[in-house]
Structure 1
Amino acid sequence: MDCRGSDLPPHVLIFPFHAPSHVGSMLKLAELLCHGGLHVTFLVTHYTHRRLLLHSNVQSRFARYSGFQLETISDGLPEDDPRSGDKIMDLLQSFGVTAKPLLKKFLISNGQQNCNTQKPIKCIIVDGVMSFPIDVAQEIGIPIFSFRASSTCNMWPYFCVPKLIEAGEIPFKGNDLDAPVASVPGMEHFLRRRDLPSFFRVQDVSDRDLQLIFNETHQIPRAQERREKFMQSADRMAKMGKEAVREGGSSSYQLDRLIEDIRLLSAD
């Protein structure tokens, strides 16, 4: 539905992977965006929703924000599945098959709602370990940001896996975790094996979990391909994030720029 001209704020969908640390990080982002005046729908699995209601203060924490709402989606697993430990990676691998059509249906349905209290969703912020929402966003024409819940130092080595393999730095030879790692640009002078994500401690570079995270990470740039204006915004955000990390600070101070970009994208 066309809500242009409405005085209601832009409406953003935040969609985290269901691992607790990812949900926690993206709830903080949701809170900051709500504080910035945006409407936010936070989409989680039924299982995660139950755990949030039982073990967190999410209801009281977001009660002050009338534009915040929790919505749920199926992960396709039985109720008694543990969804933890090694099962996390199984879920990451299978989640897209189950959730992709459900996400598309959810967004299409949301786009048909009236504008009495909230605009339809016009921007998606998805957990950077999931690439299937990028496909959905591009199919229905909604701008999308990929957000990694981990630090820049954690994410960057995944982009460098081919360099590390070519240089023979993974798999590790020997057990010295203090051995230097020289094939991650920008970290050559201080990075050690022990500083790399745990997925790098494999005996075989074809390890499923390493390849899964590597492949999902390399889908992130696709979230910037929708149009030139969005690419310019994403490039500027990436540059500011790098500058903030280099200065020893946090990129969170650029939140106002992110909010402004979302407003501009939602106005089109």
Structure 2
Amino acid sequence: MSGLHVLIIPFPAQGHVIPLLELSLCLVQHGFKITFVNTEHTHNRVINALHGRSIGDGIRLVSIPDGMEPGEDRNDIGKLCAHMPKVMPGKLEELIEEINRVEEEKLACVIVDGSVGFALEVAEKMKVKKAAFWPASVAILAFFYSIPKMVEDGVIDTDGTPVKKQMFQLAHDIPEVDSTNFVWSTIGGALSQKTFFDYMCKNIEAVKVTETLIGNSTYDFEPGAFNMVPNMLPIGPLLASNRQGNSVGHFWQEDSACLEWLDQQQPNSVIYVAFGSFAIIDKIQFQEFALGLELTNKPFLWVVRPDITDDAKEAFPEGFQERVANRGKMVGWAPQQKVLRHPSITCFFSHCGWNSTLEGLSNGLPFLCWPYFADQFMDESYICDIWQVGLRFKRDENGIITREEIKTKVAQLLGDENYKARALKLRKAAIETVKEGGKSNKCFNKFIEWMKAQEPTTSRK
């Protein structure tokens, strides 16, 4: 069979849209036709960032409302999670019905982001074959699966509140994380945290009973976590470079001129700094960070989103831009996968989002870790404690990472070749697993075969 129609639904955040669009492009290469469903707000951002470029043949981008009013803050994850289940399920049903009315268009499968569990319930209701996609580390899914046990053991209350501040670890080869940095404990205020916790608990129940579960990871990176989620098919890392294409799904228009700037730098010399799509840095810390980069006396490429701090263009320390003009470049958004592949990059100063983590590992780069929220603290632990390819920072008594701390950790990371050597081993594993015959490649082919099977399987409910 060929030309099978698949509906794909991400959670409305850039870190979820990008890997699912990457999966879509891979499926198109195998003859599938994709309808990709974003919320209206996300759809508009993706289209605007494309700036007239095509997303690729075989993929149709459509949108449905998220239930929030125009102008409301979509970065408020708790509020978004409260609104989406009220409106989106009905709109998804309408979309599926509309597609299925055309005989040759009927859906073969729905692939749903594990953070949009209600869409799995819609597919179940409409008797459409369904798979869940997990976009973060498998350790995070294992962590969510363990919530009932964590409540039973008195680690958290039933609303997700940590009983006390403590270090928590599911197993010896799974990252240890501070209980105050649990995924939901770092998202907004108390109400947002509880809303997100309840939302994810409901999602995970839907993921658990889905007949097929795929994830953007590989056995080689987190074997311990896979032991706790044995039915996961790892198909990652999902990267545009693996199919010799361009990454799509960004929310900001990329400044590709920075690649020409990198061409002029020495090999293995430039610090790449990017904190993802959500991180906000207050002005004092922003200025301290800038001065820390200056103190390193090394070339750097720094992604400064317009919304990363108040008045980002005016927030730099006085005279900073002039003083670093010969060795520093600031851009609003960068083609990150191409940047990380560039031979001039020496390390990745990162917020530790899972996509960025996979991209850095796949290019053999050591990390400097600056996590902001959600799963990023567990990813930091993977990087620093399990894989030992990066360093974390210590904050002073005022909660600030000082310029001196930044200078010290940059020197420590780049002065010890063991970090790079370990990173290169992980790079080799990342390349091998997606090659023909590699572990992730075999799992991807198994998933393709499952989707092409004519009769949808029934849920294990």
Q: Same fold (TM over 0.5)?
A: yes
Q: Which has the larger radius of gyration?
A: 2
Q: Is the 8 A contact 1:10 1:266 kept in 2?
A: no
TM-score (norm 2): 0.45
TM-score (norm 1): 0.75
State how far apart, in whole Å, the 2-side matches of 1:240 and 1:137 are.
Answer: 20
Match of 2:391 in 1: none
Correspondence 1:185-264 to 2 at 5 A: 187-188=171-172, 191-194=175-178, 197-200=182-185, 207-224=194-211, 238=231, 240-241=233-234, 252-253=440-441, 254-264=443-453
Deviation by residue 1:187-229 (Cα, 9 ceiling, x = unmatched): 245542249743256999x93322321221122123229xxxx
- DSSP-derived class of the 1:219 partner: helix
Correspondence 1:91-106 to 2 at 5 A: 91-106=80-95
Which of 15, 20, 27 is equivalent to 1:26? 20
Higher helix proportion, which one? 1
- Equivalent pairs counted in the alignment come to 233
State how far apart, in whole Å, the 2-side matches of 1:190 and 1:83 are.
Answer: 31
Q: Is the 8 A contact 1:12 1:125 kept in 2?
A: yes
State how far apart, in whole Å, the 2-side matches of 1:16 and 1:68 are.
Answer: 14
> Aligned letter for 2:446?
R
Q: Is the 8 A contact 1:92 1:130 kept in 2?
A: no
State how far apart, in whole Å, the 1-side matches of 2:91 and 2:183 are.
Answer: 32
Correspondence 1:73-88 to 2 at 5 A: 73-84=64-75, 87-88=76-77
State how far apart, in whole Å, the 2-side matches of 1:256 and 1:69 are.
Answer: 23
1:32 Cα offset (Å): 1.2
Q: 5+ residue gaps in structure 2?
A: 157-161, 213-229, 238-425, 434-438
Match of 1:153 in 2: 139
- DSSP-derived class of the 2:131 partner: strand
Q: 5+ residue gaps in structure 1?
A: 1-6, 226-236
Query: 2:99 aligned with 1:110, yes or no?
Result: yes
State the structure with bigger RCO (CA 8 A, min sep 6), 1 or 2.
1
State how far apart, in whole Å, the 2-side matches of 1:146 and 1:267 are.
Answer: 15
State how far apart, in whole Å, the 2-side matches of 1:168 and 1:104 are.
Answer: 40
- DSSP-derived class of the 2:135 partner: coil
Match of 2:152 in 1: 166
State how far apart, in whole Å, the 2-side matches of 1:267 and 1:138 are.
Answer: 11
> Aligned letter for 2:204?
T
Query: 2:257 aligned with 1:68, yes or no?
Result: no
Percent of aligned pairs with the same amino acid: 21
- Distance 1:106-1:240 versus aligned 2 partners, 3 A rule: closer
- Distance 1:81-1:201 versus aligned 2 partners, 3 A rule: closer
State how far apart, in whole Å, the 2-side matches of 1:34 and 1:23 are.
Answer: 16
Match of 1:229 in 2: none
Higher strand proportion, which one? 2
1:169 Cα offset (Å): 2.8
Q: Is the 8 A contact 1:125 1:146 kept in 2?
A: yes
Which of 49, 54, 66 is equivalent to 1:55? 49
